[in-house]
Structure 1
Amino acid sequence: MKRSLGIFFGLGALALSFAMTVSAQEQTKIKFTLDWKIQGVHAWFYWAHDKGYFKNQNLDVTIDQGDGSAAAVSRVMSGTYQAGVGDMNAIIQSSATRPTEAPVMVYMIYNHAPFALITKADSSIKSIKDLEGKTLGSPAGGAAFKLFTALAKKNGIDDKKVTWMNMAPNLQEQFLIRGQVDASAVFSATSYMNLVSQGIDPDKDIRWIFYNDNGLDLYSNGVLVSAKLLKEKPAAVKGLVSAINRAMKECIAQPDPCIENLAKNEPLINKEIEKRRLIYVLKSSVISPESSEIGLGDVKDARMARAISQIVDSYELSRTPTPAEVFDRSFLPPKAERLVKPSF
């Protein structure tokens, strides 16, 4: 009897060990690239990671910092990363030229594109028409830099008469303030609070020229996945989107704990600045009349078609992708789970 019990418990332990091994083997590893250095607008990704939301979806997600939202698309296309947060307009360009390799966006975050040109309030640059003959600054991988060609063409500017100076992302505002460039192509989500942290009033001391106010009507950053992950691991994509959506809703409802958690991942951030940045971006780029209507993460196909047309025309691309090629809403949670009521 003792021997039988020993065999029984031994087999039970073996079965449990085997089940745990199989479960661990089934966990999908995902390398996830951010669009920029760690900021308040990335709080939900770390919240999803640290609260175990990715793990609950049987995902092992590693998050790395980025060097630009357009560069994030290239990172995923290269196969180095399986997913990330990057620029829809770079996806459109990639899909037009390399449709089988281009990543696909599965969750839109920035419903209103934060692309802008900034210059000093006393600058001679008062409109886009004043840019010819000037020196503009941007990190090499910045989406606003990549999209300037579309903006210039839309407004009849010869972009060959604009000189560009590339610099590290953390030096962009400093170059402008010191007069080393006449204007900078920026992501307002980043630059607005960077200016505040340097003692500059972004509303009084800086002139803002937004792309979407000057002929473009573009979407911007969202969660994208590689074509390979989309095809081979659709359940992992669905789990990734579900975890991020849950984390976003919680961070919108209660920003403070999410910023505190972010600081644990990057102790060098200024928590007050990053909370202000998070709320500024939510108000200006994430929560809009459109997102309030259709829910976080989704887009309107008619608007997406117009945005695609603008990008294709501006870059003289040989092929026009369909909205379904660049954005796949099939992984989104139900609309009721994507509606939010901000706490601010």
Structure 2
Amino acid sequence: MKKKLMAMIMVLFMVIGLAGCGQSNTPKSAEQTPKKITFVLDWTPNTNHTGLYVAQELGYFKDAGLDVDIIQPPEGGALPLIASGKADFGVSFQEEIASALTSDSPLDVVAVGTILQHNTSGIISLKKDNIQRPKDMENKVYATWDTPVEKAILKQVITKDGGNYDKVKMIPNTVTDIMSALQSNVDAVWVYYGWEGVATQVKGLDTHFFAFKDIDPVLDYYTPVIATSQTYLKENPETAKKFLAAVAKGYEYAIDNPDEAANILVKNVPEIDPEIAKAGQKYLADQYKAEVKQWGYIDPDRWNNFYAWMYDQKLIPKKLEAGAGFTNAYLPQ
């Protein structure tokens, strides 16, 4: 009887062992397969995008069960790809989202977080040209993209400073090399200081710079932002939260470790000037979150005020409701 009992126990252990082996050889379930995400940049890679490359390099996306592909934008930008479902997330701008929402054929797009807490753009010029404030742009040559929102912002700051916008010499010029432009027949250029402004410092140019937000608070709009579609959020709410949590972790790392983050950016994008990357990263370490506690947070009042200003300036054909075009609901809490 005792021998028979022992034999039965041995058989039971063998069955359990085989069952365990069977489980370990089972193919991964759909839940365990990394979720593919396509992310579209707004321009060539730069320090605005560092948190994304950090999240990819340090495995934050992988740990969240995500497989993220970071791609360059087409000529039309990220929003059309996002709205059509050909991309999941991308970099955009608050003014671009407003235009997309109010066009004759509105796009399904929404901002789910801001990369920088404040608008770092403004006008840069060589010190010798003595453009220290907006009204000093009178009778100076400005390289314009020739877009309505650009001209409205420029007019706003020059007029508010007591200058005459009509006296600015506007020449259409899509500047790709700030240093060369400022040393040619151009006196003033619109730049995003975290990259182009820092670059002039690194290369030894003596410049003046004024930020639009310092002239008028309504121009402290959100640029750049991370966008997706309402459809994607409805169908993939948990994936969206995982993605933004990993991205937030990447930017938090960049805040705490600017030199290391710059090295990661340059490793992934070797054509970037390492010196500019490191200098820009140190500058942006204080800009990603600034005074707020939560990376990515969009202040409703600032967002809504800028959209109201756009409507008042006739930059969009219809008034947007408060809260339109953004949500903080998918950011990590």
TM-score, normalization by structure 1? 0.78
Question: In structure 1, what is the Cα distance between the partners aligned to 2:300 and 2:77?
Answer: 25
What's the CA shift string for 1:250-269, capped at 9, x where partnerless? 22122233223223212333
Question: In structure 2, what is the Cα distance between the partners aligned to 1:56 and 1:22?
Answer: 16
> What's 1:43 paired with?
50
> What's 2:222 paired with?
219
Question: In structure 2, what is the Cα distance between the partners aligned to 1:193 and 1:57?
Answer: 34
Task: Please say if residues 137 and 172 of structure 1, whose CA atoms lie closer than 8 Å, have aligned partners that are also in contact.
Answer: no
Deviates more, 1:12-21 or 1:315-324: 12-21
Deviation at 1:34, TM superposition (A): 2.4
| Alignment pair present for 1:241 and 2:244 | yes
Question: In structure 1, what is the Cα distance between the partners aligned to 2:25 and 2:236?
Answer: 25
2:194 to 161, 181, 189: 189
> What's 1:331 paired with?
330
**Partner-residue secondary structure (3-state), 2:271:** coil
> What's 2:173 paired with?
165
Deviates more, 1:302-311 or 1:124-133: 124-133
Identity, % of aligned positions: 24
Deviates more, 1:90-99 or 1:205-214: 90-99
Aligned length: 317
Letter in 1 for 2:277: E
> What's 1:104 paired with?
110
Question: In structure 2, what is the Cα distance between the partners aligned to 1:17 and 1:133?
Answer: 75
Letter in 1 for 2:235: E
| Alignment pair present for 1:267 and 2:270 | yes
Letter in 1 for 2:211: F
Structure 2: 5+ residue runs without aligned partners? 1-11, 160-164
Deviation at 1:87, TM superposition (A): 1.4
Letter in 1 for 2:316: L
TM-score, normalization by structure 2? 0.80
Deviates more, 1:206-215 or 1:75-84: 75-84
> What's 1:232 paired with?
235
| Alignment pair present for 1:310 and 2:312 | no
Deviates more, 1:71-80 or 1:111-120: 71-80
Question: In structure 2, what is the Cα distance between the partners aligned to 1:223 and 1:163?
Answer: 31
Task: Please say if residues 254 and 285 of structure 2, whose CA atoms lie closer than 8 Å, have aligned partners that are also in contact.
Answer: no
Question: In structure 2, what is the Cα distance between the partners aligned to 1:159 and 1:321?
Answer: 33
Structure 1: 5+ residue runs without aligned partners? 335-344
Cα gap change, 1:21 to 1:322, in 2 (>3 Å): same
Larger of the two Rg values belongs to structure: 2
> What's 2:319 paired with?
320
Question: In structure 2, what is the Cα distance between the partners aligned to 1:158 and 1:230?
Answer: 45
> What's 2:119 paired with?
113
Question: In structure 2, what is the Cα distance between the partners aligned to 1:34 and 1:331?
Answer: 20
2:290 to 266, 288, 293: 288
Deviation at 1:333, TM superposition (A): 1.4
1:16-165 pair list within 5 angstroms: 19-20=27-28, 22-23=30-31, 27-65=34-72, 71-77=77-83, 79-97=85-103, 101-123=107-129, 125-129=131-135, 131=137, 135-137=141-143, 147-154=149-156, 155-156=158-159, 157-158=165-166, 162-165=170-173
Deviation at 1:113, TM superposition (A): 0.1
Letter in 1 for 2:332: P
Deviation at 1:134, TM superposition (A): 5.0
- Structure with greater helix percent: 1
Question: In structure 2, what is the Cα distance between the partners aligned to 1:275 and 1:268?
Answer: 14
Task: Please say if residues 30 and 60 of structure 1, whose CA atoms lie closer than 8 Å, have aligned partners that are also in contact.
Answer: yes
Q: What's the RMSD between the two structures over aligned residues? A: 3.5
Deviation at 1:247, TM superposition (A): 1.6
Question: In structure 1, what is the Cα distance between the partners aligned to 2:17 and 2:104?
Answer: 56
